[in-house]
Chains A and B, each alone.
Chain A
Amino acid sequence: MLREEIALQARSLRRSFGEIVALDSVDLSVPVGALYGLLGPDGAGKTTLLRILATLGNLDAGVAEVNGSNVTDFEREQRAAIGYMPQQFSLYPDLTVAENLRLFAALRGVSKTQRAQRQQLLLDMVGMTKFSERLAGNLSGGMKQKLMLISMLMHDPDLLILDEPTTGVDPLSRHEFWELLAQLHEVGKTILVATPYMEEAANCDEIAFIAAGKITKTGTPDQIVSDIPGFSYEIRAEDLFEVQYHLDSLEQVVTTAMTENALRVLVNAGTRTELAQELSGFKISDITQVPTDLETAFIYLAQQAKAATVDNDRHFQEVTK
C-alpha cells in the first residue's frame, strides 16, 4: 500500500513558556491536500502549534516537519511553500489593498506580470476588486480577513496554515470565508486551519481536538462524534433553564447545551424513560433521542481534557508534597 504523503507533521512536540506548558507531547500529521481542522477552546495551544509548523516558533522537544524537512533547520527560501495567516490583522493599515498585495508578493520574488494576474484573480475571487485602492485599515472586519487570505496566496504556496481566520467576523463573512477555503481545497492546497467553532470544523476532512496543550482526539467529524460515549437527548420544556440547572447537578449527565429552542443533554447512562422520570417535576413537552452533534462532542472533549489536567495537578501536588 502506498503511504500517504504527509505535508505537516509533529511528533512528541513540547513547548512551554515559563511554567505554562503550551504543548505537551503533541502528535499531528496532516496529509497533502487535506483540509484539516485544529479544534480547541481558547488557550488550548493552537497558536503555538501553528506557529511552530509555520517555522515561526521555537520548540523545546520533539520534531516538527514541513514537507519532510525539519522546521528547526528550515531555509528561508523553503518558507515560500508555506502561507501563514496569523489571527491578528497583520498588514499595513496605511497602505492600500493593492499596495499590501504588491509588497508582500514582491518581497517573495513574484514577478510583476504574475503579480498583476494573481492580484486580479484573487481580488475577483473574494469580490474585492473595487476596493483595491482602499486603505487596508479602512476595510470591514470580514474584508480584512479576506485580504489577509489573498495576500497569503499571492506567492501561490501549496501549504496554508490559518490561525482562527474567522474569529470576530460576522456569520455571513464567516460562511463566505469557508467557501473560499473549500475552493482552495478543491484545487489541491493543503490547509491546516485552527478554529474554536464546532460548525466550522465540521467542514474539514479531518479534525484534531486540542485542549490544555494535548491533542486528545483525531478523526473525521463523523468519527469524532460517533466515538463520544453515551446518549444524546433533545428536551423541550417551558422552563428550560431550570431543567438545565437540575440536569447539571445529576451524576449521569455529562454535558448540557442550550440550542435555539431546546436543551441538548448528553448522558452516560439511562434510557429516555429514566430521564423523563428524573424530570417529572418540570413541564416537559418533549424528549427525543438524537444523534450526538459536534457541539456536544466539543464540550465533552473539552471537559475530559480539563478533568485530566485537574487530575494531573492533584497528582503533581501529591508527588511534590
Chain B
Amino acid sequence: MSIRRTRLLIWKEFLQLRRDRLLGGLLIAMPILQLIFFGYVIAADISSLRTAIVDLDHSSVSRQVADGFANSEYFNIVAFPESESEVKPLLDRGEVRVVVVIPERTSYRLAQGKSADIGVIVDGSNSQVSQVAGAYATAVVAALNGFEPPASAPSLDARVRVQFNPKMEPVNTMIPGLIAVIMMLSLTAIMSMAVVRERESGVLERLFITPIRPGEYLIGKVTPYAALACVQMAIIALGGSLWFGVPFNGSLLLVLTGLLLFMLISIGLGLLISLVSRTRAQAIQSVLFIMLPSMVLSGFIFPIESMPEQISWVSYLLPLTHALIVMRGSFVKGAGWEAMGQPLLAMVAFAVVIFGFAVFATRKRMVV
C-alpha cells in the first residue's frame, strides 16, 4: 500500500468532483430538499385536523388523553362539547373532522384493571382524511398506552400507563431515518456510477496497468464521496435539530458507529453494482432494483408492523431496515448499545459480506 499513490488517486477524485459542478450542487441540494419534503410537507399536511373532545369522565386519565391529542401535531382541538348530542351538528357543519369521546367511568375501569374504550368518530366524507385521522388517533392512544396500535381505528382499547411520550411527532422518526436514506441514495448511486464510468471509457484498465493496488484504488475512490456523505449527514442532522427541533437523546458514538457501518454498506453496494455492471444503464437499473424495495419495505415510510408477514421478512434482508432501527432508536429515544445490539450486529454482517465481496471483485478485475 503506497500512501503517495493513494493520495494521488484521492486528489484526482476530488478534482473531478470539483469540476462536476452539477453533481456537487445536487449532492448538497438533495439533503436540503429531502429535509423539506420529509420534515415539512409530509408532517404539515395532516397537522391541523379540527378535532372535538368529549370528556365524560372528567378525570386525570381523561385529561391525559385530551393532552395526548392536543400535543399531537395532527390534531387541532377546537371544541369541548359537553355531551354526545352536540357532536353530530359539529360534524354535519364540517366544523370538526374528528371527535374523540372519553366515556364515563374510563378511569374507574382502568383502576379496576380492565380495559376501556375510547371512541374516535371520524368524518367519513373524505376517505383519505378519515383513514389518516383514524390511524393517527390510534397511534396517539397507542403512544399513551405504550402499546402497538390495534388494527381498527374507531373503537380503541385504552389501558393507560403512566409512561408515555406525549410528543409523537413524525418529524422525529422521519429525520433520523432520512440521514440513513440520503446516505444510501447518494453513496450507492454515485459509487456505482463512478467506477462503471471509468470502466466504460477504458480508464480503469489504464489505471490497472500502473502499479496501483486494489486497496489504493478503492480508498482513492471512496474517500471523497465518504467525505461528501458526511457533509450531507451533517446538513440533515443540523437542519433536523435546529429547524425542526428533533431532539438528540442518544449516544453520539453509537449513532456514528451505526452510520459508519451503513456507510460501508452503501459504498460496498455501489461498488458491487459497478463491478458487475458493464454499462451505466445496467448500473442505474441495479441501483433502482435495490433502492425501491429499500424505500418501501425498510419501514422508512410505511411501518414494517403493518406489512403482511409474507413480505415483512424481506424487510430484514435490507440493510436500510437495520440502519433505520438504529437511527430512530438511538437518535430520539436514546436507546443504548444493548438495545441496538441486534441491528448493529446485522449491519456488521452486511458490511463484512458486501464490502468483502466488493474488495474481492475489484482485486479480481485488477489482476486480469
Contacts and interface: CB of A to CB of B under 8 A. Distances in A.
Contact of A107 (B19, B202, B205, B210): B210
Contacts of A109: 211
Contacts of A94: 16, 19-20
Contacts of B1: none
Nearest to A77: B211
Interface string B5-17: 1001100100110
A107 B212 contact: yes
Interface in A69-117: 76-77, 79-80, 82, 84, 86, 88-95, 99, 103-104, 106-109
Contacts of B368: 56-58
Nearest to A51: B205
Contact of B206 (A82, A86, A95, A99): A86
B358 to A, nearest CB: 21
A86 B202 contact: yes
Nearest to A104: B210
B207 interface: yes
Contacts of B201: 88-90, 93
A104 B12 CA distance: 10
A143 B20 CA distance: 23
Contacts of B203: 90-92
Contact of B209 (A54, A93, A135): A54
Contact of B211 (A55, A56, A57, A80): A80
A77 B213 CA distance: 11
B71 to A, nearest CB: 53
Contacts of A77: 211
Contacts of B208: 56
A108 B2 CA distance: 12
- Residue of B8, B202, B208, B209 most packed against chain A (CB within 10 A): B209
A74 B210 CA distance: 13
A92 B202 CA distance: 10
Mostly, the B contact residues are helix
Interface residues of A, number: 28
Contacts of B210: 79, 104, 107-108
B8 A82 contact: no
Given A58-B368, A86-B202, A95-B12, A76 B19 contact: no
B211 A76 contact: yes
A128 B205 CA distance: 25
Given A90-B201, A91-B203, A79 B211 contact: yes
Nearest to B8: A106
B209 A99 contact: no
Mostly, the A contact residues are loop
B209 A55 contact: yes
A88 B16 contact: no
Contacts of A76: 211
Contacts of A135: 19
Nearest to A78: B211
A77 B16 CA distance: 27
Interface string A106-139: 1111000000000000000000000000010000
Contacts of B209: 54-56, 79, 82, 84
B200 to A, nearest CB: 9
A139 to B, nearest CB: 14
Contact of A104 (B4, B20, B206): B206
A103 B209 CA distance: 13
Contacts of B16: 92, 94-95
Nearest to A155: B210
Contacts of A95: 12, 15-16, 19
Nearest to A108: B210
Contacts of B202: 86, 88-90
Given A56-B368, A89-B201, A108 B211 contact: yes
A58 B367 CA distance: 10
B12 A103 contact: yes
A238 to B, nearest CB: 49
Contacts of B9: 107
A80 B205 CA distance: 15
A57 B205 CA distance: 11
Interface string B199-234: 001110111111110000000000000000000000
A93 B19 CA distance: 11
A79 B208 CA distance: 10
A54 B210 CA distance: 12
Contacts of A82: 209
Nearest to A57: B368
Nearest to A95: B15
A179 to B, nearest CB: 25
A93 B206 CA distance: 14
Interface of A: 54-58, 76-77, 79-80, 82, 84, 86, 88-95, 99, 103-104, 106-109, 135
Closest 5 CB pairs of A and B: A90-B202, A107-B210, A88-B202, A90-B206, A94-B19
Given A80-B211, A84-B206, A89-B202, 8 more contacts: A77-B211, A84-B209, A86-B202, A86-B205, A91-B203, A103-B8, A106-B8, A108-B211
23 contacts: A56-B205, A56-B368, A80-B211, A82-B209, A84-B206, A86-B206, A89-B202, A90-B203, A91-B206, A93-B201, A94-B16, A94-B19, A95-B12, A95-B15, A95-B16, A99-B12, A103-B12, A106-B8, A107-B5, A107-B9, A107-B207, A107-B210, A108-B210
